[in-house]
Amino acid sequence: MTRSSKDQDYSSFWMWGDLTAFKEIMKAFTASLKYFACSIVGNEAEAEEIVADVFIKIWQQREHITPPESLQYYLFKAVKNTALNYLKSNGRRSAHYSAWEIQVNPHRSQSPEDILISKEQVDQIRDAIQSLPPRCRQIFILVKEEGLTYEQVAVLLDLSKATVNVQMTLALKKIWAALGTTIKYSYS
């Protein structure tokens, strides 16, 4: 099973404090982390502040941080902690905000065996995803787009692994239904 995990080898950053490598890391993760921070604090400007804070802190502490096994997961956790501290110092509660829209596209590299997905199907799937509860949609993004494991998502969102499983099954059922019941041309 392929995961879309963005974890690569960033060892040159950890070993040599390579700024170029660090910029690569920021490029790869900023958008995802911002989205995640936003789901906690509820607005984009603060989310950006939090992500910048996390990067600055990691840079400053790089000599003392044990290189994590999954940098991606490490960053998500750092964003979560920073965001929660931020809320706490402002006397606010988590916002559970996730207004992002999700895009659906068929694979770019269509192979001959692939069964065509019609434009209608894509539209229906998009509608199906938009109709998912916000929490479910967020889990969906963390698993399907970020490639995080159920376990990691459970820790990040303070849920049980079973809940993550239930929510993913729910998302799958909706999309399954949106795919329709018949595939006419496949037998012709």
Partner 1 sequence: MTKRLSELLALHWSGEISDEEKAELDELLLQHPGDWLKAGQLEQLVFSKVTADEEDKVNSLIDRVSNIIGDENRPQLPLMPATAPRRFRARTLLVALLLLVAGGGMLFTWLYRAQGYKIVTTDVGMKTKIRLADGSSIILNAGSTLRYPEKMDKGIREVYLNGEAFFDIKHAASRPFIIHAEKMDVRVLGTSFNVRAYKEEDFEETAVISGAVEMVVKEDKQVIRIAPNEKVLLHKNADHEKTKTNNTTAATGKQAAAIERSPLSPISAADSNHVLETAWLNNQLIFQNETLSTIAQRLERWYGVKIVIRDPQLAALRFSGRADNVSIEKLLNILQEIQPFKYSVQDDIVTIN
Chain residues binding partner 1 by CB under 8 A are 1-3, 12, 14-17, 19, 22-23, 26-27, 30-31, 34-35, 48, 51-52, 55-56, 59-60, 63, 65-67, 69, 100-108, 110, 113-115, 117, 121, 125, 129, 140-141, 143-145, 147, 149-150, 165, 168-169, 171-173, 175-176, 179, 181-183, 186
d(CA 8, CA 14): 13
> Do the beta carbons of residue 142 and residue 2 sit within 8 Å?
no
Find the radius of gyration of the CA atoms of the chain: 19
DSSP 142: I
Least distance between partner 1 and beta carbon 186 (Å): 6
> Do the beta carbons of residue 144 and residue 166 sit within 8 Å?
no
Least distance between partner 1 and beta carbon 52 (Å): 5
CB nearer to partner 1: give 89 or 105.
105
Least distance between partner 1 and beta carbon 40 (Å): 16
> Do the beta carbons of residue 128 and residue 177 sit within 8 Å?
yes
Least distance between partner 1 and beta carbon 158 (Å): 19
CB nearer to partner 1: give 12 or 90.
12
| Residue 37, CA distances (Å) to 6, 32, 49, 123, 178 in order | 18, 9, 9, 28, 30
CB nearer to partner 1: give 2 or 89.
2
CB nearer to partner 1: give 89 or 184.
184
CB nearer to partner 1: give 27 or 119.
27
Categorise residue 81: left if φ over 0, alpha if ψ from -120 to 50, beta otherwise: alpha
